[in-house]
């Protein structure tokens, strides 16, 4: 359903990721693991066409993905970036509404659904997004991505800088959304426990390539592998 083959790209002349191939089946949650700086975020920017491709291709729902970032968003690729990047001088409501309206959805209804889904945003609904705490911004970035009605969601370190109580909430919400709306997910993470709690399958990256593919059980058992690849 979501497929990347031979992804090669980077910043300017520097190539960061080499020949990365992976896929996410319909309704699946897949983890993308790896230490700091192995290229997880770069891979996600490649997938969203925020950085240009040197080589390789991306398929969304069985079709070749459009070349532009906004074109990919419109065919159902959702993205929650590392560092959240909410629209800081727009209100919480506007952050959600603009994503919904851009994709031809009723903005008022999308906002109401999102506030229902993420009650922690409700008291902040009219506040500027730039003034929210890290955890609140993370939830808002997720709500914004969901408002666009994606079929595949890329999440880049959704737990980074977020307090533990909200991490559990995010895990619960992702699982529920995955079940109820059938949205597939690819989650880049360093927090192994978080990943083991939501993903059935994982790819482990090392120096810009996929080192191996594994499932939840083998990864959970294999302490030596965890130590070697992730330093945990």
Partner 1 sequence: MDYFATVLISSLSSASILLIATLGLAVVFGLMGVINLAHGEFIMMGAYSALTATQLGIPFILAIPVAVLVTMVFGALVEIIIIRRLYGRLFDTMLATWGLSLALYQGAVLIFGSVSPGIGMPQINFNVGDYTLAAYPIFMILVAAVMLAGIYALLTRTVYGMKARAAIQVPDMARAIGIDSARTNTLTFAIGCGLAGFAGAILLPIVPATPSMGFAFVIKAFLTVVIAGPVTLAGSALAAIGVGTGASVVASFMTSVAGDLFFFILTVVLLRLYPLGVSAKWRIKL
Angle 92-102/134-147 helices, nearest 10 degrees?
Answer: 20
CA distance 35 to 17: 14
Site string for partner 1, 26-45 (x = CB under 8 A): --------------------
Q: Does 16 bind ligand ATP (CB under 6 A)?
A: yes
Q: Which of 36, 89, 165, 231 binds ligand ATP (CB under 6 A)?
A: 36
Please, which of residues 2-21 interact with partner 1 by CB under 8 A?
A: none
Residue 36's binding partner among Mg ion, ligand ATP, partner 1, none (Cβ under 5 to 8 angstroms by kind) is ligand ATP
Those residues whose C-beta lies under 8 Å from the C-beta of residue 21, and which sit 6 or more positions away, are: 4, 5, 6, 7, 56, 210
Number of chain positions touching partner 1 (CB under 8 A)? 31
The reply to whether 131 sits near partner 1 by the rule CB under 8 A is yes
Contacts of residue 42, defined as CB under 8 A and 6 or more positions apart, other chains included, come to: 9, 10, 11, 16, 17, 51, 208
Q: Are 80 and 44 in contact (CB under 8 A)?
A: no
Q: What are phi and psi of 91, to 5 degrees?
A: -70, 165
Interface contacts to Mg ion, rule CB under 5 A: 40-41, 82
Judged by CB under 8 A, does residue 94 bind partner 1?
yes
Identify residues 57-96 at the interface with ligand ATP (CB under 6 A). Answer: 82
Distance CA 155, CA 157 (A): 6
In angstroms, give the least distance from the CB of 16 to partner 1: 17
Give the nearer residue to ligand ATP in terms of CB position, either 11 or 70. Answer: 11
Span of 102-110, 158-166, 174-182, 194-202 interacting with partner 1 by CB under 8 A: 102-110
For residues 121 and 230, which CB has a smaller minimum distance to ligand ATP in the complex? 230
**Which is closer to Mg ion, CB of 47 or CB of 111?**
47
Return the residue of 144, 184, 187, 203 that touches partner 1, per CB under 8 A. Answer: 144
Which residues are CB-contacts of 28 (< 8 A; sequence separation ≥ 6)?
184, 185, 200, 201
C-beta of residue 153 within 8 angstroms of C-beta of residue 184: yes
The binder of partner 1 chosen from 79, 118, 194, 203 (CB under 8 A): 79
Q: Crossing angle, helix 164-181 and helix 134-147, to 10 degrees?
A: 10
Residue ranges that bind ligand ATP, judged by CB under 6 A: 11, 16, 34, 36-42, 82, 157, 190
């Amino acid at each position: 359903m979501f497929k990347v083959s031979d992804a090669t790209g980077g910043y300017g002349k520097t190539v960061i990721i080499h020949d990365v191939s992976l896929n996410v089946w319909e309704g699946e949650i897949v983890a993308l693991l790896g230490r700091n700086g192995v290229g997880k975020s770069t891979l996600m920017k490649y997938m969203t066409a925020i950085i240009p491709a040197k080589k390789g291709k991306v398929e969304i729902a069985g079709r070749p993905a459009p070349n532009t970032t906004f074109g990919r968003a419109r065919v159902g690729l959702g993205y929650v970036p590392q560092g959240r990047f909410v629209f800081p001088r727009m209100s919480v409501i506007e952050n959600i509404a603009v994503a919904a309206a851009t994709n031809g959805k009723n903005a008022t209804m999308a906002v109401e659904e999102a506030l229902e889904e993420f009650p922690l945003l409700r008291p902040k609904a009219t506040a500027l997004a730039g003034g929210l705490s890290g955890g609140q911004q993370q939830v808002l970035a997720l709500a914004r991505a969901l408002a666009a009605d994606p079929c595949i969601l890329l999440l880049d370190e959704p737990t980074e800088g977020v307090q533990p109580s909200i991490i559990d909430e995010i895990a619960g919400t992702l699982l529920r959304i995955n079940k109820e709306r059938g949205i597939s997910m690819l989650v880049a993470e360093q927090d192994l426990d978080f990943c083991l709690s939501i993903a059935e399958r994982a790819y482990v990256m090392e120096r810009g390539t996929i080192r191996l593919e594994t499932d939840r059980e083998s990864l959970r058992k294999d302490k030596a592998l965890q130590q070697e690849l992730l330093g945990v």
